[in-house]
């Protein structure tokens, strides 16, 4: 397969996944079985996105076959997609347990297998035992597939109507955040404030790798988006740069989550920027050795 054909197939998989068209399923299945690693991964992801309209009897066996793909990321995306099909993926549980218990499997795939097993088994319990589950927003009872879909996306229980509302709110909020990232640090990272720019440039200057504004689920049912995460040291950095009441309430809630999970948190404030080098050395040295 030429690189041009591969790019076209990848683009097509993304388009089909975003189409919301039930007729896209069969073309995606063909792409998922292709020899292109990237195209297969994107097609599997797209099949997960279309879980609300696809026939699980057709799609789930395809996803189970993809669990045996030699590329670890294809296996990872297959597990994520199976999770979206909830109790309809029960036949995949033995394969997921095999991945979970395989010491040769990638660590992130073992974690994903554990998460997928959890969601599928909970969804299956709702289906088989008629457990009463309620939407956290409107209070109405939710079906097993609603539970699986909402937990995959938000780690919350929502009916389909409230899921759509929350999804739009989250998407709009994320869009506003991205628009506010208009200050460029020297390494090219777009941040939201001059204080964050100084922190990003200090980390780069000291050869410390960081991830900026990425979402992490650090406790069941809760996720955070730290300003900075240092993956080599498992350290979180938050720059508390505002002084409004609503902001402070959010700050205290976020700090509580870090405290509950015993995460290594460094809190920085606008006054710290006046002597950032000393402050960073002092606070980071509690967790890592700085030269």
pLDDT reported for residue 203? 95
Q: For the chain, how many structural domains are there in total?
A: 3
pLDDT reported for residue 267? 94
pLDDT reported for residue 149? 76
pLDDT reported for residue 129? 64
Judge if 175 and 189 occupy the same domain: no
Q: How far is it, in rounded angstroms, from Cα 58 to Cα 4?
A: 30
pLDDT reported for residue 204? 94
Judge if 153 and 86 occupy the same domain: no
Phi, psi of 256 (to 5 degrees): -65, -40
> Does residue 163 lie in a domain region?
yes
Residue 18 belongs to domain with CATH number: 1.25.10.10
pLDDT reported for residue 114? 94
pTM flag (> 0.85): no
pLDDT reported for residue 178? 59
Judge if 157 and 193 occupy the same domain: no
Domain that holds residue 231: 181-284
Judge if 113 and 34 occupy the same domain: yes
Nearest one of 287, 108, 107 to 208, comparing CA atoms: 287
Judge if 154 and 195 occupy the same domain: no
pLDDT reported for residue 99? 93
DSSP string for residues in 222-256: EEE--SEEETTTTEEEEE-----HHHHHHHHHHHH
pLDDT reported for residue 208? 93
Q: What is the pLDDT of residues 68-107, one digit of tens each?
A: 999 999 999 999 999 999 999 999 999 999 999 998 899 9
Q: pLDDT below 70 — which residues of the chain?
A: 1, 128-132, 155, 170-179, 217-223, 290-291
């Amino acid at each position: 397969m030429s690189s041009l054909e591969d790019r076209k197939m990848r683009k097509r998989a993304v388009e089909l996944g975003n189409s919301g068209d039930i007729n896209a399923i069969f073309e995606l299945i063909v792409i998922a079985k292709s020899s292109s690693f990237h195209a297969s991964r994107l097609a599997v992801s797209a099949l997960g996105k279309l879980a609300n309209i696809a026939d699980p009897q057709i799609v789930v066996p395809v996803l189970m076959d993809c669990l045996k793909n030699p590329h670890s990321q294809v296996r990872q995306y297959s597990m994520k997609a199976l999770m979206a099909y909830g109790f309809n993926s029960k036949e995949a549980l033995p394969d997921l347990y095999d991945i979970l218990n395989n010491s040769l499997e990638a660590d992130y795939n073992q974690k994903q297998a554990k998460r997928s097993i959890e969601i599928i088994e909970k969804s299956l319990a709702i289906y088989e035992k008629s457990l009463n589950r309620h939407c956290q927003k409107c209070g109405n009872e939710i079906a097993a597939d609603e539970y699986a879909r909402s937990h995959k996306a938000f780690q919350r229980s929502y009916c389909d109507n409230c899921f759509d509302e929350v999804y739009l709110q989250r998407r709009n909020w994320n869009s506003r955040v991205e628009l506010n990232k208009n200050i460029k640090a020297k390494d090219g990272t777009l941040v939201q404030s001059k204080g964050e720019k100084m922190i990003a440039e200090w980390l780069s200057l000291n050869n410390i790798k960081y991830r900026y504004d990425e979402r992490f689920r650090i406790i069941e049912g809760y996720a955070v988006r730290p300003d900075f995460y240092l993956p080599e040291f498992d350290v979180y950095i938050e720059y508390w740069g505002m002084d409004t009441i609503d902001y402070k309430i959010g700050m205290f809630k976020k700090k509580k989550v870090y405290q509950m999970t015993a995460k290594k948190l460094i809190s920085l404030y606008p006054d710290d920027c006046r002597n950032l080098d000393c402050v960073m050395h002092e606070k980071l040295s509690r967790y890592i050795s700085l030269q």
